[in-house]
Structure 1
Amino acid sequence: MATMSLRVWAACSAVLFCVSVALAQVPAPKVQSEIQRGLEALRRGDYTTAEELFSGALKTSPTLAEVRANLGLAYYADHKYAEASQAFRTVLQQDPSLKSARTFLPLSLAAQGQCEEALPGLRRGFASNPDAKLRRDLGLSLERCLLQTRQQADADEVIERLLALYPDDGDVLYEAGQMYGKLSSELYLRLLKVAPHSARGFQVMGQVAATEGNWQKAVDAYRQAIQTDPNLPGVRLDLAIQLLVHSTDPGAWKEALSDLNAELQINPMSPEAHYEIGEIYRKHDQLDAAAAAFERAIRLRPDFVEARMGLAKALRQQGKSQEAVSVLETTRKTAPDDAGVHYLLAQLYRELGRPADAEREEEAFQKLQKSPQ
């Protein structure tokens, strides 16, 4: 059973205090007992028990907004972001002034990729929240949502502000390094200096080793990162990719699939994880599951060319060449310079008896192959 991270506990502590004070106003001893045991479960990171106890108290006393806020926090800490969002929405209907719900609703929405709705609350919270650790989390979520909604200039401002406020924070340095390609080496070196044995530090060590071609060292570093922080987003995806690309163990794909599913428990809005799962299923002839995974990746990132090509390949393997063509013809409009799209389209057109279209795509492919990169 995972213990609650210091960051989550720091964020939750103010709300837990409010409920502890409010217990004196709750008349039913059973409700008081459920709330108190729920708080204890939340403190020790037993989120399932906390959810059950808070839900039980709310069945008896559904108007306790603070208790519902704690239920939302339990869901949030348990990566059940849709349930957390619903809980916080209900809280705000009952008590629009409750600060915890106003803070954690946008965080929950951002974790689901619902950035357009989350952005106003994230902006407001990052600008004014007095809790330093919670403000940091609001800023990181704000930066990711700004990038997702293609607001690069605003994202730059947020990451610069985060670096000014938290110059030695591992997650801030990591996110900045991811965003600033030309500055990433300097930022990563600072991260390794200030937090060499942190989860992010191990993750960067793994990425450096992978870049150098030392995949086994990369795998070892990623596993150290997971051991240090089991809830670190992104690292299980990194690990799975190394196993899929380099491992000679015939069962490595099963370990990679397990890692990818675990990644989605932490970060369900990762299009890359859905894509890699789709590729695993496609290569092992589980084509319905593959197509479903690719479609999830595309919904999360409509311009994800590799996921569209994966879907087209899965449809082709199912004998649905015309559907595959439809997928790729749409992709060609948004990625006209992708040689792989033209090559696969040429093959499909030939299979469908469309030689003129196939020749056109082959010419486009050859032209792109000869073009300087």
Structure 2
Amino acid sequence: MSAPGAASGDASLNLVQLRAMIDRGRTEDALKKLDVLAAEKPVQAGVYRVRGLALYSLNDFTDADVALTSALKQDPHDEESAQLRGLTLFRMGRPADAIPLLESTSSWTTQTKIDPNYVLALCYIDTNQYDKARAAFATQYGFAADSAAAYLLAARMLLRRDGLPVAQQFAARALELDPQLPLAHLLLGEVALAGEHLDTAIAEFEKERSRNPLDGSIYDRLGDAYSRSGDYTKAQQSLQRALLLEPNSTGPYILLGKVLLKRQDPASALMYLERAEKMDSSNYITHSLLGQAYRSLGRTGDASRETEISHKIQAANEPKLETLH
């Protein structure tokens, strides 16, 4: 007859093996074994937690939430289950419910895969708690919450989530705290560009260019802003400068192709767009512009092919909820 300690050890070892199966992509096989373990009475410690992880990995967030809630009832101090349930609730579109869990477990554990401070900051953004979001991002990066760097970082993250007014306020505050802060004018320009305030965007990009003249991304943004404003000569000049500084980036090649099409120069546009396609064949915009260039040159067969490729890539990349696990 096995000793109780040996049985407990065997159960723990089994859960370690099941977790390893999940990490290796054999989640459904692991879940079948976990379902058997979850049906036992009493349920072994850790079974609900690993079952919740398996369900989360399969994007079954509703059942994952049930399993993780059971895990926390079994052990209220289970930090991994609390973090994972917070992440699950965020993925379910319930950021307000996720916040208390993530606030209580914002430190890393041995099993942490996604920085809880990052998800907590996103939850704060989604509930319009922008100062708390700034503090959470600052903690993630090791900045003081009220520092210029923290304001600029939060502004960058807010821009990604289309929070333009607050992003502008935070980037401006960063400059007030540190007028020489690198990339602050670039970010202010990107916020203005996203809001189609083209004159402001150009002015901010020029300020950044004077401070950081060898950053190719600045010329890329300038080219985009000039192109949108209809100044294709300055756009072309800026984008060619970007190419020299960032020869391995597809962005300037694509934008330059677009500008040259606007300037009725499809032959030159084709040269840059074909280069962009060789560097990255999965960008639907490149194929769409290639289709336009070929059509302008009378190459209708090539134009149809590129347009079809563009549509297929775009259809395959319809917006989906990103997997953070």
- Structure 1 length as normaliser, TM-score? 0.47
1:261 match: 206
1: distance between equivalents of 2:228 and 2:157? 28
SS in 1 for 2:264: coil
Cα pair 1:191 1:201 within 8 Å, conserved: no
- 180, 183, 188: which one pairs with 1:231? 180
Superposed, which structure 2 residues align to 1:34-73 within 5 Å? none
Q: Residues 74-100 of structure 1: CA distance to partner in whole angstroms, max 9, x if unpaired? A: xxxxxxxxxxxxxxxxxxxxxxxxxxx
Which amino acid letter does the alignment assign opposite residue 225 of structure 1? Answer: A
Is 1:185 matched with 2:134? no
Partner of 2:282: 337
Taking a change above 3 Å as real, the CA distance of residues 343 and 206 of structure 1, as seen in their structure-2 partners, is same
Letter aligned with residue 145 of structure 2 = P
Distance (Å, rounded) in 1 between the aligned partners of 2:287 and 2:118: 35
Instruction: Choose 278-287 or 351-360, whichever is displaced more.
Output: 278-287
Q: Does 1:202 align with 2:151?
A: yes
Instruction: Measure, in 1, the Cα distance between the counterparts of 2:150 and 2:264.
Output: 46
Query: What CA distance in whole angstroms lies between the structure 2 residues aligned with 1:359 and 1:235?
Result: 43
What's the CA shift string for 1:242-264, capped at 9, x where partnerless? 111126xxxx3222211111111
Q: Residue type of the partner of 1:261?
A: E
Answer yes or no: is 1:288 the counterpart of 2:288. no
Structure 2 CA distance for aligned equivalents of residues 212 and 326 of structure 1: 34
Q: Could you say if the C-alpha distance between residues 329 and 212 of structure 1 is closer, same or farther in structure 2, counting changes exceeding 3 Å?
A: closer
Query: For the Cα contact (< 8 Å) 2:223–2:236, is it kept in 1?
Result: yes
Q: Distance in 1 between matches of 2:216 and 2:141?
A: 28
Larger radius of gyration: 2
> Do structure 1's residue 354 and structure 2's residue 303 form an aligned pair?
no
Q: Deviation at 1:191? A: 6.2
What is the root-mean-square deviation of aligned Cα atoms in Å?
A: 2.4
Task: Indicate if the aligned counterparts of 1:263 and 1:273 stay in contact, CA closer than 8 A.
Answer: yes
3-state secondary structure, aligned to 1:302:
coil
Q: Deviations over 1:151-181 (max 9, x none)?
A: xxxxxxxxxxxxxxxxxxxxxxxxxxxxxx9
Q: TM-score scaled to structure 2, two decimals?
A: 0.53
Is the counterpart of residue 363 in structure 1 residue 312 in structure 2?
A: no
Deviation at 1:347, TM superposition (A): 1.1
Deviation at 1:193, TM superposition (A): 7.3
| Corresponding residue to 2:170 among 221, 230, 243 | 221
Within the candidate set 292, 297, 301, 2:246 is matched to 301
- Cα distance in 2, alignment partners of residues 182 and 264 from structure 1: 35
1:318 to 253, 257, 263: 263
Deviation at 1:278, TM superposition (A): 0.7
Q: Does 1:272 align with 2:217?
A: yes
Deviations 1:197-244 (A, max 9, x none): 221011123224334432111101100111111221112111111111
Residues 317 and 211 (structure 1), Cα distance of their counterparts in 2 relative to 1, 3 Å cut: closer
Cα distance, 1:352–1:194 mapped onto 2, change above 3 Å = closer
Q: How many residues of Structure 1 are paired with residues of Structure 2 in the alignment?
A: 189
Q: Does 1:242 align with 2:191?
A: yes
> 353-362 or 278-287: which moved more?
278-287
C-alpha distance in 2, partners of 1:318/1:194?
46
**Maintained 8 Å contact 2:138/2:150:** no
Distance change in 2, residues 1:353/1:277 (3 Å): same
Which is helix-richer, 1 or 2?
Answer: 1
Give the Cα separation in 1 of the matches to 2:300 and 2:205: 40
Q: CA deviation at 1:284?
A: 2.4
Where structure 1 has 5 or more consecutive residues not aligned to the other structure, the ranges are 1-180
Cα deviation per residue 1:36-57 (whole Å; 9 max; x = unaligned)? Answer: xxxxxxxxxxxxxxxxxxxxxx
Q: Which amino acid aligns with 1:346?
A: G
Aligned mates of 2:308, 2:261 — CA distance in 1: 22
Q: In structure 2, the residue corresponding to 1:340 is in which secondary structure? A: helix
Shift in Å, 1:372: 5.1
Name the % identity: 24
Secondary structure of residue in 2 paired with 1:213: coil
Q: Match of 1:254, as an amino acid?
A: D
Whole-Å separation in 2 of the counterparts to 1:339 and 1:192: 34
Cα offsets for 1:278-329 (capped at 9, x unmatched): 1121222222211110111111112322211111111112221100011111
Structure 2 residue identity aligned to 1:204 = L
Moved more, 322-331 or 184-193: 184-193
Aligned pair in 2 of structure 1 residues 233, 328: CA closer, same or farther (>3 Å)? same
Q: How does 1:76-95 map to 2 (within 5 A)?
A: none
**C-alpha distance after superposition, 1:114-161 (max 9, x if no partner):** xxxxxxxxxxxxxxxxxxxxxxxxxxxxxxxxxxxxxxxxxxxxxxxx
Distance 1:270 1:319 in 2: 29
Separation in structure 2 between the aligned mates of residue 203 and residue 287 of structure 1, nearest angstrom: 31
CA 1:227–1:206: 2 relative to 1, 3 Å? same
